[in-house]
Structure 1
Amino acid sequence: MFYTIVLLCLYWRCLNGVFSESLSVMEGDSVTLKVDVNETDKDDEILWKFGAEKLPVAQINRAAEIFDTSDGPDGRFRDRLKLNHQTGSLTITNVTTQHAGLYKLEIIAAKLSSKTFSVSVYTRLPVPVISSNFSCSSSAIQQNCSLLCSVVNVMDVTLSWYKGNSLLSSISVSDLSISLSLPLEVEYQDKNTYSCVLNNPISNQTQHLDISKLCHTCSGTTSSYPLVSLIVLISAAVVGSLLIVAGFGIFCSCRKHRKTDQEDEVTYANLTFNKRNAQKSIKSEHDEEEVEVVYESVFYS
């Protein structure tokens, strides 16, 4: 019974010529709603209608020589519609998101047939921006860099991180988003290829990650280690030299003072006076007594 109902519905749709087609277009481009020439005759009347209200936007009546397009009630189609007089196809130029929606084609002939076009309009995608929130771990071996890929003013998009061709993470949004971002953390020494991709059903924008540029602070810190070590070694050598010179100066000063003290120190030996018997001879009244005095040698040490 179910399959019978389905077949009847399909037969009814074919009988009335009701078909649907989906089209996607980038904002600013053009899109053509094509009419199959086998479905029309030169005397057929063609009507194009837009939106749920089915507002007329274009008409062809060859018998009355009418080839007309409409700007729409709000003027959104002004200078944007081109009608092919031979086929009846309708082209919309410089498309904006205001032109997204349902378009209905009606062919009025011996029987009424129609076709519906669903038009989706996507804004042009911006290139994702990758920024870094750099931090080095306490370990000298592992250094991590926190990255953030972000876009603004997007709708119906998916933002993803890829490692080579492998998907790491993604986030999607259907409504208009002021800001959309996706984090990623990598090691500074990581040699893999990373990229951030923003895409919608008809286009994509890719930003490749350059770790050496975004995490340059960590690189600079790492490369400064030899310089710091050299400075420390030089400082230690200078301080050591100064200590040696100071120690040698103190040693010489002490030695000099010690020598001076030794030179100033005099050891006196005991003096012994030996008085020998003097022979007194009286030569005259004024002659003095002769006394022989013997001094022993005195040594200085």
Structure 2
Amino acid sequence: MITFVNLTNLFVSAGVFGSETNETKSVSVMEGDSVTLHTDFTEIHEDDEIMWSVVAEHTLIAQIHRASGIFSTFDGPDERFRDRLKLDDQTGSLTITDITTKHAGDYKLEIIAAQLSSKTFSVSVYARLPTPNITRDFSQNSSSSSSSSSSSSQQNCSLVCSVVNVGHVTLSWYKGNSLLSSISVSDLSISLSLPLEVEYQDKNTYSCVINNSFTNQTQHLDISKLCQIHSGTSPAISPVISII
């Protein structure tokens, strides 16, 4: 089975030297989903030739030419498109299924008809975001309790929101709809954490949100569950004993 075709030789042998129209479209998709790159045709003609290629590699990954009986998809030189390409025989649109970050990049649609026209699709693939994890930070409580402000710290609950193995994201704390604090990272794989201190009796709603330019995940804070008063973390209450 042919896994790839170099487009330079293909165009020379086809003798394509006509005028060209070109447009670029940006497409965003979540990792694991499918994306369809549309030709915007309702139906291609018998003599039309449709070719899809990966721009960076000048590699053909799909082709239709009804007059020659050509209807093919190709795996690519590294086979990353194996079992992932679906070509619409009526419109020439190309679908990439179960997409991964390896499939991000520019794809070019070449339409050879009365003239050569083309369209470039810039495909961005976003990894699925994890749900933030909110935990109690006892180290902050213990360090605070030994300081001069121990009476104040005993009224507060120290928390931390964290995520692991993320990149190009922002992690934020919200009080209701108001942003309290945030931290951003552009690295590909890193762990993030963001602290928060609340009062034990605080009745406001808090949430930790991780987001990128495509999607977000939210974890809501349950103060009554995470900030239970434990021995040594709240002011001691002396029992009242009545002697009769």
Q: Deviations over 1:78-119 (max 9, x none)?
A: 000000011000000001111111100011122111100011
**When you count strand as a share of all residues, which structure comes out higher?**
2
Name the residue aligned to 1:63.
67
Tell me, in whole angstroms, the C-alpha distance in 2 between the residues paired with 1:161 and 1:53: 42
Which residue in 2 is equivalent to 1:72? Answer: 76
Query: Equivalent residue for 2:9?
Result: none
- Deviation of 1:201 after TM superposition, in Å, equals 2.4
Q: Is the 8 A contact 2:171 2:184 kept in 1?
A: yes
Matched residue pairs, number?
218
Match of 2:199 among 187, 193, 202: 187
Give the C-alpha shift of residue 32 in structure 1. Answer: 0.2
CA distance in 1 between counterparts of 2:169 and 2:54 reads 26
Structure having the larger proportion of residues in helix: 1
CA RMSD of the aligned region, Å?
2.4
Identity %: 69
1:93-104 → structure 2 map (5 Å cutoff): 93-104=97-108
**In structure 2, C-alpha distance between the alignment counterparts of 1:96 and 1:68, rounded to whole Å:** 22
Residue in structure 2 matching 1:206, options 218, 233, 236: 218
Structure 2 spans left out of the alignment, 5+ residues: 1-18
Distance (Å, rounded) in 1 between the aligned partners of 2:150 and 2:49 = 78
Residue in 2 that maps onto 1:109 = 113
Q: Deviations over 1:133-158 (max 9, x none)?
A: 14265327961222111101112221
Of the two structures, which has the highest relative contact order with CA contacts closer than 8 Å and spacing of 6 or more?
Answer: 2
Tell me if the contact between 2:169 and 2:211 (Cα under 8 Å) persists in the aligned partners.
yes
Measured after TM superposition, the shift of residue 223 of structure 1 is: 8.6
Q: Deviations over 1:140-186 (max 9, x none)?
A: 79612221111011122211111100111112222322311111122
Helix, strand or coil: the match of 1:139? helix
Q: For 2:75 and 2:137, how far apart are their aligned partners in 1?
A: 51
Return closer, same or farther for 1:219/1:36 CA change in 2, 3 Å cut-off: farther
What TM-score do you get using the length of structure 2 for normalisation?
0.81
Instruction: Report the 3-state secondary structure (helix = DSSP H, G, I; strand = E; otherwise coil) of the residue aligned with 2:229.
Output: helix
Q: What does 1:5-24 correspond to in 2, within 5 Å?
A: 16-24=20-28
Q: Secondary structure at the match of 2:121?
A: strand
TM-score, normalization by structure 1: 0.67
Q: Which has the larger radius of gyration?
A: 1
Residue 229 of structure 1 pairs with residue 239 of structure 2:
yes
Q: Counterparts in 2 of 1:233-272, with a 5 A limit?
A: 233=241, 237=243
Show the 5 A alignment for 1:145-224: 145-218=157-230, 222=234
In the aligned structure 2, how far is the partner of 1:219 from the partner of 1:20? 63
Q: Aligned letter for 1:160? A: S
Q: Which runs of 5+ in 1 are unaligned?
A: 1-14, 242-301
